């Protein structure tokens, strides 16, 4: 069974595939390239609540998906425990100005205890994990066609140069180059805001 849904006006879709239909898909989380025929199949599938994986449009979408050349942005997750409320809040609102001291107080911890807990459960510092969340949001906004200056503001950076430097550290490329790769994957001269994004 394959479940498809749309998200907003940016033509972003989510696809949930039953385990029985995952044989041809990449084994790990990644960005995938979507052909024009696959995009058309996806748009038709989005009209249904659910459809069998062996239906023609489902096969059209799932067959031939391959990882793109876009750099990956791994997001370490905690398997559970005291950090879950904080991690969930930062995933929902990564641009919040709340600092580690405020989060520590909410969890009944000292700042030092929170720092140790982050390293133990996530393998990163609080600031490094929050930066990854902001970069993930930046990638989503770039896929929507927002320009680099706008994205820098939207994800909470005080200057474009700080945003570009953080993006390069996290993804090994600049946000402008990343956006051009996204447009190239779309295989069309359409405006960036019309680009499609599929998260598998």
- DSSP structure string for 121-188: HTSS-HHHHHHHHHHHHHHHHHHTT--HHHHHHHTT-SSHHHHHHHHHHHHSS-HHHHHHHHHHHHTS
pLDDT of residue 6: 45
Helix axes 126-143, 175-186, angle to 10 degrees: 40
The span from the CA of 25 to the CA of 77, in Å, is 22
Query: Residue 93 corresponds to which tokens in the numbers above?
Result: 């609102």
Ordered domains of the chain (ranges, CATH):
2-68 (no CATH), 84-183 (1.10.10.60)
Q: How far apart are CA 137 and CA 34, in angstroms?
A: 21
- Residues 37 and 41: their CA atoms lie apart, in Å, by 6
pLDDT at position 163 is 94
Residues 6+ apart with CB under 8 A from 43: none
The pLDDT value recorded for residue 61 is 81
* Confidence at residue 165, expressed as pLDDT on a 0 to 100 scale: 94
Give pLDDT < 70 ranges for the chain: 1-13, 28-31, 33, 67-79, 185-200
């Amino acid at each position: 069974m394959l479940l498809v849904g749309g998200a907003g006006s940016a033509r972003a879709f989510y696809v949930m595939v039953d385990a029985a239909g995952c044989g041809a898909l990449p084994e790990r989380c990644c960005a995938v390239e979507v052909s024009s025929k696959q995009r058309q199949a996806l748009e038709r599938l989005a009209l249904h609540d659910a459809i069998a994986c062996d239906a023609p449009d489902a096969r059209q979408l799932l067959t031939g998906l391959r990882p793109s050349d876009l750099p990956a942005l791994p997001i370490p997750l905690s398997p559970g425990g005291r950090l879950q409320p904080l991690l969930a809040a930062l995933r929902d609102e990564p641009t919040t100005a709340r600092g580690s001291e405020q989060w520590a107080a909410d969890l009944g911890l000292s700042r030092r205890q929170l720092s140790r807990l982050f390293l133990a459960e996530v393998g990163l510092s609080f600031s490094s994990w929050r930066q990854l969340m902001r970069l993930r949001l930046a990638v989503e906004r770039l896929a929507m066609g927002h320009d680099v200056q706008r994205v820098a503001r939207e994800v909470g950076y005080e200057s474009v140069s700080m945003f570009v430097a953080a993006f390069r550290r996290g993804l090994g490329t600049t946000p402008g180059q990343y956006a051009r790769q996204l447009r190239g994957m779309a295989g069309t001269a359409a405006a960036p805001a019309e680009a499609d994004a599929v998260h598998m």
